[in-house]
Amino acid sequence: MATKIATAAAVVAATGGAGRRGSAEARRRRLIAAAFLLPALLLLGALVVHPIGYSVYRSFFDRSGDTFVGGGNYREILNDDTIRTALGNTAIWVVLAPTTATALGLIFAVLTERVRWGTAFKLLVFMPMAISMLAAGIIFRLVYDHDPDRGVANAVWVGVHDTFAEASAFPKARPGRDSPLAPAEGGGYVTRDPVRAGVPALLPLVGVAPEALPEGTRAARPAAAEPGKVTGTAWQDFTRGGGGRTNAVDPTESAFAGMRIEAVKDGAVVDSASARADGTFTLSERADGALLRLPASNFREAYAGVQWLGPALVTPAIIGAYVWMWAGFAMVLIGAGLATVPRELLEAARVDGASEWQVFRRITVPLLAPVLAVVLVTLVINVMKVFDLVFVIAPGAVQDDANVLAFQLYRTSFGTNADPGLGSAIAVLLLVLVVPVMLYNIRRMRREARR
């Protein structure tokens, strides 16, 4: 019995000693881990925690930082029209940019699996990610230039438009002094008096710069009288260098080749013709006693394209530049997720008679849901702080219309008439808006880790 008691005491003593040694070892490991983590924690505190805390503190003070204003800066956010515009535009960004980039990335990832040159296509789509936001902004500032000779977007748009509705060569033409022409109802011009067969009609116009006349324009000449027909001349009644006679065809004056002329009786067009290369035209006997009308189509202004960077379209235009950059990022991540999708499920669905659209909608997309969530959340956080593209692409006149919170933060804190207190309040608001998205992302990652 004494032997058993002694043995038990020895076991307890040995176990206690091992426990103490294990506890000391655990403490030593925790100290080593803390020593390695300390530099990172100090850096995190200096670069993240302290700036956040100071921003919250500074947001309760006025511009100078000497007077406590409480929630005054936050009330200013709600009352300032410019900041409210920034909030609205940020909401548009959050809704449109991530969903569009993710949708395009999904489409590209799925379609490039079916073509032999898919890798090359993926490389081209992903390449914009290698460009800085500043460089992309400069590129798209040129793409969206209003001048079709410089801006690619308007060059294409104007080219398509002019294919179906060609502009006139004489948009600035108008009657001159003592002209026989008067403004017509609905645009264009009409003769003041009816014309007669056998008496040449004169249709003088001014206002077209000599260098703006079509290439190959010839000198005008007076029309010859033809029995039973109405003839005349449409020309620019202007002699370069001065001189010349008003409402008379002078030798050096230019013809308006291609000008459309209509003969109108009782409001109806009875005949029409186009001016020849020398400006002369001929109408049949039906035009006798009619008024000659130059329809408004002769003076249609050249189509200048779309104001991509105007107040109405500047935000969608900048979002387009963002999508161009980040669709490749979405495509690569979604493509990686697509590579893990079991092909047996897809083939089984096709064997069971499912169409490609049904396979995509009911199998591919649900299986890619975790990856799509990662891409979408990442892009939402990214667009919350977009600044570079707005700063570079939006012209100064429409920066208020293109404003977003991150850009307004910069303007308020560092622009002319800077207000650090209000800028800090905007920074805190931006942080508050990002936190829910970050919390959702953390919860989603933990949920994925438990599976």
Give pLDDT, residue 235: 93
Asked whether the predicted pLDDT for residue 353 surpasses 70, the reply is: yes
Give pLDDT, residue 12: 46
Give pLDDT, residue 448: 74
The string of pLDDT tens digits covering residues 221-240 is: 999 999 989 999 999 998 88
- Mean pLDDT computed over 405-427: 90
The string of pLDDT tens digits covering residues 95-114 is: 999 999 999 999 999 888 87
Residue 440, C-beta contacts closer than 8 angstroms, at least 6 positions apart = 377
Q: Which residue has better confidence, 197 or 216?
A: 197
- Mean pLDDT computed over 389-413: 92
Q: Which residue has better confidence, 357 or 100?
A: 100
Contact 180, 192 (CB under 8 A): yes
Pairing type for strands 280-283 and 181-183 reads unpaired
Q: Please state, as a whole number, how many other Cβ atoms lie within 10 Å of the Cβ of residue 341.
A: 14
Asked whether the predicted pLDDT for residue 2 surpasses 60, the reply is: no
- Mean pLDDT computed over 288-299: 91
Give pLDDT, residue 54: 92
Q: Which of 166-170, 272-276, 310-314, 388-392 has the lowest mean pLDDT?
A: 166-170
Band of pLDDT at residue 181, cut at 50, 70 and 90: very high
Asked whether the predicted pLDDT for residue 180 surpasses 80, the reply is: yes
How far is 13 from 6, CA to CA, in rounded Å?
11
Band of pLDDT at residue 120, cut at 50, 70 and 90: confident
Residue with tokens 């264009």: 188
Contact 105, 331 (CB under 8 A): yes
- Mean pLDDT computed over 51-68: 90
- Mean pLDDT computed over 141-145: 93
Torsion region of 80: left, alpha or beta (phi above 0 gives left; psi -120 to 50 gives alpha): beta
Band of pLDDT at residue 10, cut at 50, 70 and 90: low
Residue 235: beta bridge partners?
204, 255
Across the chain, mean pLDDT equals: 87
Amino acid at 391: F
Band of pLDDT at residue 449, cut at 50, 70 and 90: confident
Asked whether the predicted pLDDT for residue 281 surpasses 90, the reply is: yes
Return the closest-CA partner of residue 298 out of 393, 173, 125.
Answer: 173
Give pLDDT, residue 260: 92
How far is 327 from 102, CA to CA, in rounded Å?
7
How far is 329 from 349, CA to CA, in rounded Å?
29
**CA angle 67–68–72, rounded 5-degree value:** 115
Q: Which long-range CB contacts under 8 A does 62-69 form with residues at least 24 apart?
A: 62/421, 63/418, 63/419, 63/420, 63/421, 63/422, 65/420, 65/421, 69/421
Give pLDDT, residue 159: 83
Return the closest-CA partner of residue 272 out of 287, 282, 280, 262.
Answer: 262
Return the closest-CA partner of residue 293 out of 371, 170, 192.
Answer: 192
Give pLDDT, residue 3: 56
Asked whether the predicted pLDDT for residue 349 surpasses 80, the reply is: yes
What percent of the chain lies above the pLDDT cut of 90? 46
Asked whether the predicted pLDDT for residue 11 surpasses 50, the reply is: no
